[in-house]
A and B are shown apart, each in its own frame.
Chain A
Amino acid sequence: MQLTDPLTLASTRDLAWLSRHIAEGMLLGMQHSQRRGAGVEFQQYRSYEPGDSIRHIDWKLFARSDRYYVREAEQESRMHVCIALDTSASMAQPSFTHPQLSKLHYAKCWIATLCWLLHRQGERFSLLALNDGEMRHIPSGQGEGHHRRIALALAQLRAAGHWPGEAQLASAWKLFEQPCQVVLVSDFFERGQEISTFAARLQAAGRPCLPLQLLVEAEETFPFSSELKIRDPESPAITELDAGAQRADYLRAFGAAQKQLAARFAARECPLTSVAIERPLEQSLRRFVDAHSRIG
């Protein structure tokens, strides 16, 4: 399998096509076990919507009624995968080796690819993009068209602001009333513990939260040695420092914070997957899927 390099990720405009390409590459050689109808137990008919696979149309019913109906199974209608994406300003962090590629862009590609995989399994999925400025929600759906919708919505996202506060999150909680699994994509750079708390509350509400942390390599290795002015995207202050002298301290502090974060998620039985955006997308997706074999 040929892996996708960061340049390809950064330079491809068509998110839908790219994610489909990557996902099909990952699925190559897998058994196309048709889980027709996605769910064995029939629950109801629903009228055909663009984006639904033609395979799911009940042709006998079409012959009777001259209308397209799609069979739906009970399980699907209730359970779906909600992908929550943190779009705070820190997600605009570009890679230092590939400046064209930012965390947010990687996240978009990653989510689109995951959605295609979910689509190929007949799962339903929705998207929630959060920052304190705006909240973008695509309700759950399935099929190729839904994937396209999600890809389109993803492409329009911009990173700005902070993680939303309690009041702003209140409206988001309604979206989790339906049973769902949440994939939380963020860098988990918190000012307090706001993102962890969000995940913990989801968990407590019986919505399994599967965290994916996006990092750039420089955050893990801190390869700077000269005088630097460091601009924190989420705070106006500019820090001036001698990077060489600070390196050891930084690595210690960062390592400790990472360990603490991972421990917090491990305690809730949803292990944190940390991914460097310079790594190929297939690898990170595979790691994520392996860590949560319930999806894969």
Chain B
Amino acid sequence: MLWQSPQWLWQSPQWLWLLAALAIPLLIHLLRRSATREIPFAAAHWLQEKRPYRKRRLLREKWLLLLRMLLLALLALLLAQPLLQRDAAASADTLLVDPRIARAELEIFLQDHPGFRQRLWLQPQPTPISAARPPATDLWKTLSGLAAAGAFRRAHILLRNAENPSGHGALSVSPHWQWHALENTGADDATPLPKLALLGPGPPWLEAMLQQLRDATLPQLALQTLDTIDAANAKAQDWLIYDTPGTLPGALQQFVRDGGLLITDQRVRPQGTLRFVELAGDEPLQAAALGRGSWLRYGRDWHSDGFFHRADLPQTLWRQWFAQDWALQARSRGHWSIDASPGIPVADAAVHRSHLAPLQHGLLLAFVLLLALERIVALARPARGGGGRD
């Protein structure tokens, strides 16, 4: 069953201190009970006790106390945001689809392989394929992340190519995965898209240009935005657009040396001297080789109208950037094939078979219901007597 071993996790456990507030209604109750005033009253002869009424009242107060403590406890729980671990069943009728696969190709595949109940995009957090197509992700990383997820332990994985560029670090896989690929030939005709990144505020035309490229030919193109210079890493990004005038920082120089492509305009100057080679074309453009990578530098300020007021800007720029040996670089990188997966199998024991279900809605509902109940009990005081305390 789903509830096999419920184990509580808290998103903000500091709120559990609020449980100490349970003492407040308890204290009030105790203090009130003992605070019954004692008076000497010589005319007590004309008073008579009415026990049953008092007992009923005490019972009601106990109920109120219980309800109020429950309310407080629920409030603390709500704020602490509990997560209930539930076991996830590893089903074999799950299909994880590489987002690069076109819709038509997928339909054909599904006709050949019916019987997949759950069809998801292959992503760090898989979404159903009825949802919008997500941008292409790093297969290497994504697969490593999913290898330990219990729900996808026995999934079928459909890739576009049997051979894919390998990443840095180790690949983890589930030994129960079943691999499919649309093309067994490898990645020769389809060069993988470079991982494009932007450091700092980019030129204003960049977003529009990428959008045009996505609409036209490269739907998977994604732009990563880096916040700090230190985030630039040739392992994580292929191309880096840098738009801050001044001397090139050392970290970026290291990025180029490690094999990245740096794209700037004339306002960025190198540390020391670099031998730039003028490239042919109608646009003044120069390139310099630095370590394993290169630096592409535009001869004009790319903020000027003359630079970007052109209809063919996206295609021109893409061609210029792509021409910097990207195809060769991509091909020369390591590849892995689904036939001989280099991954390290994740043992069954290491799989966390559970996913966490938030309980907020149920708790909130219970809180509102209890609050209503408490109000009803508190306000439905007996009509007689009149002088009750609250």
Contact = CB atoms under 8 A, between A and B. Distances in A.
A233 to B, nearest CB: 5
Contacts of A92: 40
Interface string B372-390: 0000000000001111110
A228 B39 contact: yes
Given A227-B36, A228-B36, A257-B46, A93 B53 contact: no
A56 B38 CA distance: 55
B385 A242 contact: yes
A51 interface: no
Given A189-B42, A232-B42, A250 B47 contact: yes
Q: For chain A, what secondary structure do more than half of its interface residues adopt (helix, strand, loop), or is it mixed?
A: mixed
Nearest to A235: B44
Given A240-B49, A249-B48, A254 B43 contact: yes
Nearest to B44: A232
Contact of B41 (A93, A225, A244, A249): A93
A91 B37 CA distance: 21
Contacts of B43: 189, 219, 250, 254
A231 B40 CA distance: 5
Contacts of A93: 40-42
A228 B50 CA distance: 13
Contacts of A226: 36-37, 387, 389
A196 to B, nearest CB: 14
Nearest to B37: A228
Interface string A171-190: 00000000000000001010
A92 B385 CA distance: 30
A230 B42 CA distance: 9
Nearest to A93: B42
Given A226-B37, A230-B41, A244 B50 contact: no
A7 interface: no
Contact of A254 (B36, B46, B57, B389): B46
A126 interface: no
Given A226-B387, A230-B44, A244-B387, A239 B49 contact: yes
B319 interface: no
Contacts of A225: 386-387
Contact of B42 (A90, A247, A253): A90
Contact of B36 (A187, A240, A249): A240
Contacts of A219: 41-43
Contact of A242 (B39, B41, B44, B57): B57
Given A94-B40, A231-B39, A232-B45, 11 more contacts: A91-B42, A225-B387, A226-B389, A229-B37, A230-B47, A241-B49, A244-B387, A245-B53, A245-B385, A245-B387, A254-B43
The 10 closest A-B pairs by CB, nearest first: A244-B387, A225-B387, A245-B385, A90-B42, A232-B44, A229-B38, A253-B46, A93-B42, A219-B43, A254-B46
26 contacts: A93-B40, A94-B40, A103-B42, A187-B42, A219-B41, A219-B43, A227-B36, A228-B36, A228-B37, A229-B39, A230-B38, A230-B47, A231-B38, A231-B39, A233-B40, A240-B36, A240-B49, A241-B47, A241-B50, A242-B388, A245-B385, A245-B386, A246-B48, A246-B50, A250-B46, A254-B43
